[in-house]
Amino acid sequence: MTDDEMLDKKARAFVAYARLFDLDDTIAQRTIEIRRTFKTKTPDAVIAATALEHNMALVTNNASDFEIPGLEVIGLKVSL
């Protein structure tokens, strides 16, 4: 198996466990508040707002991008 095939296999296995959330008005408003307050990039603000609104921890490889009060961040180092 090539490296690309192995990476594809790992990515598909990870995504199989993913749960999708709608970007509703509450999350959109929370995203705007996070952007204004913490100058967070829009994609990161959407991720953070979603985690906060659903009372979930956020697992990430770049925890420093999510220094937001009330947000539980779990730093994870991933090597592919």
Domains of the chain: residue spans and CATH: 3-75 (3.40.50.1010)
What's the rounded Cα separation, in Å, for the pair 20 and 22? 7
What sign has the CA pseudo-torsion 35, 36, 38, 41? positive
pLDDT for 33 beyond 80: yes
Q: How confident is the model over 34-46, as a mean pLDDT?
A: 97
User: Tokens standing for 17?
Assistant: 């466990």
* pTM of the model as a whole: 0.80
What's the rounded Cα separation, in Å, for the pair 11 and 16? 9
